[in-house]
Amino acid sequence: MGKIIVVTTVIGIVLAILGERIIHLRKRVWASREIEQNHLPSCHLIKGIEYGSEDITILPSGLAFISSGLKYPQTPSFAPDSPGKIFILDLEDQKPRPTELRISRGFDVDSFNPHGISTYIDKEDDTVYLFVVNHPQFRSTVEIFRFVEEDFSLTHLKTVQHELLHNVNDIVALGPESFYATNDHYFTQHLLRSLETLFCLAWCNVVYYSPREVKEVASGFYMANGINISPDKKYVYVSDILDSAVHVMEMNQNYTLTPIKAIHVGTLIDNIEVDPETGDLWGGCHPNGWKLFNYNPEDLPGSEVIQIKNIHSEEPIVTQVYADNGSVIQGSSVATVYKGKLLIGTVFHKALYCDLEQSIKM
């Protein structure tokens, strides 16, 4: 009888703890939030992108790289059992259409599972390097390609693997072979990853990689996600999606990062893109993470885009630019601008093209 009481008590305590943790997690991911429509008048879905556009980055020439087809733990995916793709979109065209980039022989295309992306342009010869976070068999690698514009192809140069790069989400290139990367979990095993999220353990980090040195340069994030750099290369921005915050960090000469401040934005900000002209930050966000992680076709996850102005001032301005309840676009993960054009990408759904200048006129 005594053993039954002990077992029952232990089970009750465990259930109580789990219940409290679930309630706490639901608050963190804005599970009760219902997004109000805030559409722009001049937008359309991009034909040819059907299974996600998780990250987008744009070259100064207007060529936009788009990663598509991501399959990742704890997030939905409706992509067929086929490799992921990198598309390119020329925003200088009046009616841009995505083109799939061909990848050179010798690279394992069959296991290609692209996530975050970043570019680096060599100042001496204008070579464009494309860095892609890849998850072959749900592991983490970073693939470095050279972009060949003449025939819209990618030449594979290098695969980077390291024990510190164990759950890579996003990346920002610093040189032809160097970068910062975010790890969005501490554990790699699925059950432990789930418990890490449930208990909101702030064990995620940012890692600096170069052929000469690999090291942790920032830590203490609940779920480090998007990462990018200021136009003057002095500051790094990291989104902590479970904290609904953007962390501003100063770059040091040894590539360590010094925390400056955190800006809470009231939504689950995913990837970060930086306007090279103004320094404004653009974020693709999840207004209700519970709907994203527990996908229900009857209660779709929405999308939200925010713009952060004057991020280094005492009072940054956070503005909601676009919002949708999932009827148009689901699970937005990135937003980026080029000459008055706005691209919105998603984890697993479609991609949206908006003409901001036309919207202002209307």
The closest alpha carbon to 149, from 84, 85, 59, belongs to: 59
Dump the DSSP string for 86-105: EEEEETTSSS---EEPEE-T
- d(CA 278, CA 337) in angstroms, rounded, equals 11
- d(CA 236, CA 216) in angstroms, rounded, equals 14
Q: What is the dihedral of CA 197, 198, 199, 202, to 10 degrees?
A: 20
The closest alpha carbon to 335, from 43, 28, 96, belongs to: 43
Residue among 115, 135, 185, 247 flagged as catalytic? 115
- d(CA 288, CA 234) in angstroms, rounded, equals 33
What is the three-class DSSP state of 292? helix
Tell me the two tokens of residue 59: 């070259």
DSSP assigned state of 37: P
Tell me the two tokens of residue 160: 């980077």
The closest alpha carbon to 354, from 285, 305, 300, belongs to: 305
115 is a catalytic site residue: yes
Tell me the two tokens of residue 24: 């706490």
Strand order through the sheet with 281-286: 268-274, 281-286, 303-309, 317-324
Burial of 213 (0-12, 13-18, 19+ CB in 10 A): exposed
**Helices 190-198, 2-28: crossing angle, 10 deg rounding:** 70
- d(CA 285, CA 344) in angstroms, rounded, equals 10
Contacts of 186 (CB under 8 A, 6+ apart): 167, 196, 201, 203, 204
Tell me the two tokens of residue 313: 């001032």
Task: List, by residue number, the catalytic residues.
Answer: 115
